[in-house]
A and B are shown apart, each in its own frame.
Chain A
Amino acid sequence: MPTHETVFVTGATGLVGGGVLKRMLGGDPQLRAYVLVRDELRWRAASRRLGSLADRVVPVQGDLTARRLGIEYWTRHRLAREVTMIVHAAADTSFSRPLAQARLSNAEGTREMLSLARHCGGLRRFAHVSTAFVAGRQVGMIRERDNGNAEGWVNSYERSKYDAEALVRDSGVDWVIFRPSTIVCTGVEGSIPQINAVHRALRVYHRGLAAMMPGARSDLLDVVTADYVNDSIARVTVNPSAARKTLHLCAGRGALPLGELVDGAYELWARDPIWRNRGIEKAVLTDLETYTLFANSVIETGDARLGAVLSCLSHFIPQLALSKQFDTTVADKLNGCTAPPVRSYWSAMLTQLLNGNWGVAPEEAA
C-alpha cells in the first residue's frame, strides 16, 4: 500500500476537475495525481495553470468513452495499485446531445470509471461530480437524499447524469456524490471562466431577441461559483464522514428569485445609454405553456435566426419554469459553510459578461 495519497482525476482540463486538482495538490504536499487526458494539447494548457504543482501530476492517455477508458494495460495496472482516491469530474455537458451520445460519455464513462475503481485495492473514496439538475422536471424542495425521478428531464445531460448517479450508488465502492447547480463565475468577483447556457441566454435577452421567459417572479434560479464548488469537492472528498453522502453544491436558500435576477440584469444593461436608447423591453415572465406556444409558432414559420435563438435556449430555459429549491443541509454540514448568496455576485458577473464582450470576438458580438 502506498504511504501517501494518490488521486486519479478525470476532467482535469475542465473548470471543475482542474480546480479540484489544483486545490487538492495545494492542500496536501504529499499528494500525487494521475489525470485522464484525451487531448494532449488541452492538458498542456491546463498543466500550465497548475504551475509547479504540475510536477506531481502524471497524465494518462485515455478516453472516457472507450472500453477500459482506453488506458494501456500496464498503466491501468499501475493505477489500480497506487490510486487511493478518484475524482470523476469529466462529463459531456452539452444539453443538446442525443441521449445515446450523452449516455456514452456520462453514464458508460462512469461505468468504466467504477470498473477501474473496483480494481484499486487501496481506494478510499470515489468522488462523483454530478449535477443538481438530475432532479429534472421535479419542482419544489429537492432533498439531497432524493434520487428518484418520476417527472422526467429537460435534456439529455440531466438524464444521463441521473443514470450515472445510479451506477455510482450501486457500485459497492465508497462514494460521495456532488451535485453542483450551474456555475456562472469563478468567485464573488464575478469573473467568467467559460461561457455556458446561462450566459448565452442572457446574451440573447440583452440583444432583444427573446420575447419572454418561462417562470414566475418568485421562482428561484440556482447558480453557484466555481470557487465554492471546487473548494467543497476538494475538502469533502477527503472527509471520511462523507461516505455514501450526496451533497447539493447549490445556492440553496441563497438562490435569487427570477424576477430579481431579470430586473437586475435589465437595470444594469440600462446604465449603458446606447443600450437604453434602443428601448428593448424587459422580457415577460410567463408560464411554460405560453412560452412553448410562442417557440413552436416561431419554429412553424421556419424563421432561421429566431429558430436558432430558441433552439439555443430550448435545452435550458424550460428549467426556469420548473421552480425548485435545493436543500443543502448535508453540504453545509460537511463544508462548514454555505455557498455565497447569488445576490452577492450576480451584478458583478453581469458586468464581467459585458466587459468581456460576452466571451466572443468583437465581430461575432455585433
Chain B
Amino acid sequence: MAAAVPALPSSCPGISGISYAFPACSRSVRDLAREGKLATSAETLESFGFGNVYVGTSESPYELALAAVSGLLAEQRIDPATVGLLIYGGTPGCMAFSPANEAEKGAAGFCRTDRFKYPAARLQYDLGLSGASVFAVDQLACTTLLGATRIARSLCITEGIDRAICVASEFFPMHAGREAIFNCTSDASCAVLIERQGTRNRLVAASTVTKGYYWDADSMRDEIVASYFPTSRFVVQRTIEQAGWSAADVDWIMPHNVSVRSWQILSRLLGLPNARLWSANVARHGHTLAGDNFINYRDALDAGAIEAGQRVLLFSYGFGAHWTGVAVEA
C-alpha cells in the first residue's frame, strides 16, 4: 500500500513566514449552542476541548485574506514584486467578497458573470504582486492550505520559483451551523510564505491520500468517522517515510484543530513516542478550514516551543475526502 519513497531534493524550500487573521467577533461554544448552531451538545464539545470560535459578521473572506497576506508581507519585509507565485484557496469566486451576513447574495453571483470575479486575481492587484503567477485551489476543504503549500513547494523545486505565497480564507454564512462532525469551527484566513532558498522550516515531504468514496460528507458521516483514524495513520506513516524519518524522530505535531479527544485517540494509534501535540489553540479558537496547522505553527514558533532543526509533522483531514501530511524541519 505504501508508495515508493522518492529521493529528497538536495535543497527543500522552507517556510519563511506565516500570518493569519480572524474576524473581530468571537463566540463561546455555549453561545453557539444557544443560537442553535451546533448539532452536538455544548457540554460534549467542551469535553472534546472546544471553548471559543471566531465568527465573521461584517468581514468578508477576501478582507481576511487581504489582512493575512498584507501582514505577511509587512512582517517579512518582502517586496511584493518579488513574489513569483500566489496560490489562493478557500471561499470560492465572488462569494469571497461577501461578508457572512450577505453570503447568500454572494453565492447567487455564481449564476451570473460575477462568477468570474476572482479573489486570487484581486489579491495580486491589491497587494502589488505583479510578478506572481496566480492559481487557486478548490475542493480540498481543511487540507486546502497544506495542498497549496505542497504545490508551491513542487513549483519552487521544478520551476525555480524563488518566492511563493499561499493563502486560504474560509467562512461560514451567518445562518449556517458551526459544527463539522463534532468540531467547532472559526472563520479565518492564513497566509504562508515559501522561499526556495529558505533556511528555516524546510518542507521536507508532503503526502496526500484522497478517497472519493467519501465525497458526500453528509450521507457518509459515520463511514468518515470510522475511516478517519486508520487513513490518518497511514498518511502520517507515509509522510514520515517519505521524509526519511523514523517515528521516533518527530518532535512536534502541528494538528488541525479537530477535537482534542480525537487527537488523544489518533496519537495513541500513531505511535510517535517523542512527539508533542500543539493543542492549546483548540480551546482558544477551535477548528478553521483556512489553515489550523500553520496558525498553530506560527504560535508555536512565537512561543519559542519549536527549536531549529526539530522535526515537525503537519497533518490535516478535509472533506472530500482528503488526508494530507507535511513534514517540516524547523
Binding site for B on A (CB under 8 A): 207-212, 277-284, 286-287, 289-290, 293-294, 297-298, 300-303, 305-306, 309
Which of B40, B213, B234, B265 has a CB less than 8 Å from the CB of A290?
Answer: B265
The answer for the CA separation of A208 and B265 in the assembled complex, in Å, is 18
B34 at the interface (CB under 8 A from A): no
Query: How far apart are A302's CB and chain B's nearest CB, in angstroms?
Result: 7
Is there an interface contact between B225 and A208, defined as CB atoms closer than 8 Å? no
**Which residues of chain B are near A277, meaning CB under 8 Å?**
213
Residue of B nearest to A210 (CB): B226
Provide a sorted-by-A list of 7 A–B residue pairs whose CB atoms are within 8 angstroms. A211-B226, A212-B230, A286-B269, A290-B265, A290-B268, A301-B40, A305-B222
**Which residues of chain A are near B227, meaning CB under 8 Å?**
208, 211, 280-281
B211 at the interface (CB under 8 A from A): yes
The answer for the CA separation of A212 and B47 in the assembled complex, in Å, is 22
**Which residues of chain A are near B82, meaning CB under 8 Å?**
none
B216 at the interface (CB under 8 A from A): no
The answer for the CA separation of A212 and B233 in the assembled complex, in Å, is 11
Give 8 new A-B contacts, CB below 8 A, not counting A279-B212, A287-B268.
A211-B227, A286-B268, A289-B268, A290-B268, A293-B261, A293-B264, A294-B229, A306-B225
**Which residues of chain B are near A298, meaning CB under 8 Å?**
225
**Which residues of chain A are near B113, meaning CB under 8 Å?**
none
B110 at the interface (CB under 8 A from A): no
Query: How far apart are B317's CB and chain A's nearest CB, in angstroms?
Result: 12
Is there an interface contact between A278 and B213, defined as CB atoms closer than 8 Å? yes
**Which residues of chain A are near B213, meaning CB under 8 Å?**
277-280
**Which residues of chain A are near B154, meaning CB under 8 Å?**
none
Query: How far apart are B292's CB and chain A's nearest CB, in angstroms?
Result: 20
B228 at the interface (CB under 8 A from A): yes
Is there an interface contact between A208 and B223, defined as CB atoms closer than 8 Å? yes
The answer for the CA separation of A305 and B221 in the assembled complex, in Å, is 10
The answer for the CA separation of A298 and B265 in the assembled complex, in Å, is 12
Is there an interface contact between B261 and A281, defined as CB atoms closer than 8 Å? no
The answer for the CA separation of A306 and B209 in the assembled complex, in Å, is 24
Is there an interface contact between A209 and B40, defined as CB atoms closer than 8 Å? no
Residue of B nearest to A287 (CB): B268
Given contacts A212-B230, A301-B182, A302-B44, contact A284 B261 (CB under 8 A): no
The answer for the CA separation of A289 and B264 in the assembled complex, in Å, is 11
The answer for the CA separation of A207 and B225 in the assembled complex, in Å, is 13
**Which residues of chain A are near B223, meaning CB under 8 Å?**
207-209
Is there an interface contact between A306 and B222, defined as CB atoms closer than 8 Å? yes
Is there an interface contact between A302 and B226, defined as CB atoms closer than 8 Å? no
The answer for the CA separation of A297 and B222 in the assembled complex, in Å, is 13
Residue of B nearest to A282 (CB): B230
Which of A209, A284, A303 has a CB less than 8 Å from the CB of B269?
Answer: A284
**Which residues of chain B are near A289, meaning CB under 8 Å?**
268
**Which residues of chain B are near A281, meaning CB under 8 Å?**
227, 230-231, 234
The answer for the CA separation of A282 and B47 in the assembled complex, in Å, is 29
**Which residues of chain A are near B230, meaning CB under 8 Å?**
211-212, 281-284
Given contacts A208-B223, A211-B227, A281-B230, contact A290 B269 (CB under 8 A): yes
Is there an interface contact between B265 and A293, defined as CB atoms closer than 8 Å? yes
Residue of B nearest to A309 (CB): B222
The answer for the CA separation of A30 and B280 in the assembled complex, in Å, is 78
Residue of B nearest to A306 (CB): B222
Residue of A nearest to B226 (CB): A211
B262 at the interface (CB under 8 A from A): yes
The answer for the CA separation of A283 and B223 in the assembled complex, in Å, is 12
- Among the interface residues B211, B226, B229, B262, which one has the most CB atoms of the partner chain A within 10 A? B226
Given contacts A281-B234, A297-B261, contact A212 B222 (CB under 8 A): no
Is there an interface contact between A297 and B40, defined as CB atoms closer than 8 Å? no
Residue of B nearest to A281 (CB): B230
The answer for the CA separation of A281 and B211 in the assembled complex, in Å, is 10
The answer for the CA separation of A290 and B229 in the assembled complex, in Å, is 11
Query: How far apart are B210's CB and chain A's nearest CB, in angstroms?
Result: 9
Given contacts A278-B213, A297-B262, contact A303 B222 (CB under 8 A): yes
**Which residues of chain B are near A303, meaning CB under 8 Å?**
222, 225
Q: Which 3 A-B pairs have the closest CB atoms?
A: A281-B230, A278-B213, A279-B211
Query: How far apart are A25's CB and chain B's nearest CB, in angstroms?
Result: 47
Is there an interface contact between B229 and A211, defined as CB atoms closer than 8 Å? yes
Residue of B nearest to A277 (CB): B213
Is there an interface contact between B226 and A284, defined as CB atoms closer than 8 Å? no
The answer for the CA separation of A281 and B261 in the assembled complex, in Å, is 21
Is there an interface contact between B222 and A209, defined as CB atoms closer than 8 Å? yes
**Which residues of chain A are near B182, meaning CB under 8 Å?**
301
Within 8 A of A (CB), among B241-265: 261-262, 264-265
Query: How far apart are B322's CB and chain A's nearest CB, in angstroms?
Result: 12
- Among the interface residues B44, B47, B268, which one has the most CB atoms of the partner chain A within 10 A? B268
Which of B41, B209, B233, B265 has a CB less than 8 Å from the CB of A294?
Answer: B265
Query: How far apart are A124's CB and chain B's nearest CB, in angstroms?
Result: 53
Contact bitstring B71-90, A, C-beta under 8 A = 1, else 0: 00000000000000000000
